[in-house]
């Protein structure tokens, strides 16, 4: 019974973590990947829109009425113009609202085509497989944006619009004969329920793909022991952070290295050393502000990205150094507390460097100077 209870608690916690991962705002890496996915979708949309131009022309060749051909060409031109607009916006990569706008456009355009079909043949609107399948395409494409919120939005929007359309079609039919079509068969309520279920299944499948991608990216860009972003994350994100700072803002990179940490490992063992490292990370992280990051570069070396000028950063890192000294690590009962210290070198953008490599070099020089002076200090300028 106790084991079953623990399993239920574990399942609930896993489901809670799943919901949190899918519905929270993606981090910088996922947003960058999502922007690339949005651009890919925009290019695909533009390519497919060119093919749409051929449809009314083929209809005209096969004997379609002039009025239908003109309407078809007008719709095709509109689709191509909008595809170019979305492509231009996607290339800028600076519009957080764009994925929701393009997703709404894709779903609503599908509904619009089905509405036009309903004007000529009610059964065509709710029994057309080719047009309806574009709902599935719109939902599937959200997986390229790596945002679970967008996938859920697309699925719910598609189900809501199609349910409203189907309800309107059945409500407007004054007799069963109006739901019959020689080309599309008989429209039934059961078929519409099945289609809504298929939309739900596609939404859940796309959510699973997004979650899997988020986990893979998280594992590749995070340190397994501390959960911090790793060196790869820093090299991926620093250029974008510096580009954003050109519009205004301050950045100081603090390179921190724990002093003589091997001694802690020797005294408390490897598992205790791992806990001591996580203890130091917790104390250091507590001194950072909301949008600032602590990155584990490897071993006992970390980089803190502080969004403030050099002087302010020195005061804050000095406060963190004192806080870490005043909160020793307690390995267990009966063991002596382990005081952990660090040496930190600071470098400010753009004064000490215009890119990550030059900032790290400047901060490393100052950190090494701290080490030569015995450690447990913070240095913001070359000695």
Half-sphere exposure of 17 (CA within 13 A, CB side): 8
Q: Across-strand partners of 296?
A: 230, 302
SS (H, E, C) the chain: CHHHHHHHHHHHHHHHHHHHHHHCCCCHHHHHHHHHHHHHHHHHHHHHHHHHHHHHHHHHHCCCCHHHHHHHHHHHHHHHHHHHHHHHHHHHCCCCCHHHHHHHHHHHHHHHHHHHHHHHCHHHHHHCHHHHHHHHHHHHHHHHHCCHHHHHHHHHHHHHHHHHHHHHHHHHCCCHHHHEECCCEECCHHHHHHHHHHHHHHHHHHHHHHHHHHHHHHHHHECCCCCCEEHHHHHHHHHHHHHHHCCCCCEEEEEEEECCHHHHHHHHHHHHHHHHHHHHHHHHHHCCCCCCEEEEEECCEEEEEECCCHHHHHHHHHHHHHHHHHCCECCCCCCCCECCCEEEEEEEECCCCCCHHHHHHHHHHHHHHHHHCCCCEEECCCC
1-32 residue pLDDT tens = 445 544 554 555 555 555 555 556 655 555 66
- Predicted pLDDT at 1: 47
φ/ψ bin of 316: left (φ > 0), alpha (ψ from -120 to 50), beta (otherwise): alpha
Q: What is the overall mean pLDDT for the chain? A: 84
Nearest to 132 by CA among 68, 202, 213: 202
- Predicted pLDDT at 89: 87
Residue scoring higher pLDDT (275 or 216): 275
Report the CATH fold assignment for 231-379. Alpha-Beta Plaits (3.30.70)
60-79 residue pLDDT tens = 677 656 655 675 677 778 88
78-126 residue pLDDT tens = 888 988 998 888 887 667 788 899 999 999 999 998 898 888 888 888 8
Q: What is the pTM of this model?
A: 0.59
Rg over alpha carbons for the chain, rounded to the nearest Å, is: 29
Q: For residue 369, what are its two tokens?
A: 């100077």
Q: For residue 55, what are its two tokens?
A: 């449809």
Q: For residue 102, what are its two tokens?
A: 């393009």
Long-range contacts of 260-269, Cβ-Cβ distance < 8 Å, separation of 24 or more:
260/375, 261/300, 261/340, 264/329, 264/338, 264/340, 267/331, 267/336, 267/338, 268/331, 268/335, 268/338
pLDDT above 70: residue 202? yes
User: Which region among 141-145, 249-253, 355-359 has the lowest average model confidence (pLDDT)?
Assistant: 141-145
Tokens 């913070």, residue? 378
pLDDT above 80: residue 197? yes
Q: For residue 357, what are its two tokens?
A: 């490599």
- Predicted pLDDT at 72: 67
What is the rounded distance in angstroms from the CA atom of residue 170 to the CA atom of residue 166?
A: 6
User: Which region among 3-7, 61-65, 130-134, 323-327 has the lowest average model confidence (pLDDT)?
Assistant: 3-7
User: Which region among 64-68, 264-268, 295-299, 322-326 has the lowest average model confidence (pLDDT)?
Assistant: 64-68
For 208, other C-beta atoms within 10 Å of its C-beta total 15
The domain ranges of the chain are 2-221, 231-379
- Predicted pLDDT at 162: 96
Residues in the chain: 383
């Amino acid at each position: 019974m106790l084991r079953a209870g623990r399993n239920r608690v574990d399942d609930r916690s896993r489901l809670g973590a799943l919901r949190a991962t899918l519905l929270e705002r993606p981090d910088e890496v996922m947003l960058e990947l999502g922007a690339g996915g949005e651009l890919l979708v925009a290019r695909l949309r533009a390519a497919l829109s060119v093919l749409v131009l051929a449809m009314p022309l083929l209809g005209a060749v096969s004997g379609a009425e002039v009025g239908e051909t003109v309407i078809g060409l007008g719709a095709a031109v509109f689709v191509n113009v909008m595809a170019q607009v979305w492509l231009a916006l996607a290339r800028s990569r600076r519009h957080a609202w764009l994925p929701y706008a393009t997703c709404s456009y894709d779903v609503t355009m599908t509904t619009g085509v089905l509405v036009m079909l309903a004007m000529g043949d009610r059964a065509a609107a709710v029994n057309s497989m080719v047009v309806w399948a574009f709902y599935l395409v719109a939902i599937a494409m959200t997986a390229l944006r790596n945002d679970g919120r967008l996938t859920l939005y697309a699925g719910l929007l598609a189900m809501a619009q199609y349910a409203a359309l189907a309800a309107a079609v059945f409500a407007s039919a004054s007799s069963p004969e109006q739901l019959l079509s020689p080309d599309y068969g008989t429209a039934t309520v059961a078929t519409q329920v099945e289609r809504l279920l298929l939309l739900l299944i596609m939404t859940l499948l796309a959510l699973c793909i997004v979650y899997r991608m988020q986990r893979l990216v998280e594992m590749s860009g995070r340190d397994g022991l501390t959960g911090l972003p790793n060196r790869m994350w820093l090299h991926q994100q620093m250029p974008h952070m510096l580009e954003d700072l050109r519009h205004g803002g301050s950045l100081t990179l603090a390179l921190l290295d724990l002093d003589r940490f091997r001694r802690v490992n020797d005294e408390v063992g490897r598992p205790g050393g791992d806990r001591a490292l996580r203890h130091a990370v917790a104390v250091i992280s507590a001194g950072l502000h909301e949008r600032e990051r602590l990155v584990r570069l490897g071993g006992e070396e970390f980089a803190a990205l502080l969004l403030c000028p050099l002087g302010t950063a020195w005061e804050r890192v000095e406060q963190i150094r004192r806080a870490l000294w005043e909160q020793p690590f307690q390995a267990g009962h009966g063991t002596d507390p382990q005081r952990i210290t660090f040496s930190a070198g600071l470098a400010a953008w753009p004064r000490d460097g215009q890119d990550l490599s030059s900032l790290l070099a400047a901060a490393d020089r100052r950190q090494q100077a701290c080490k030569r002076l015995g450690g447990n200090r913070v240095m913001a300028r070359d000695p």
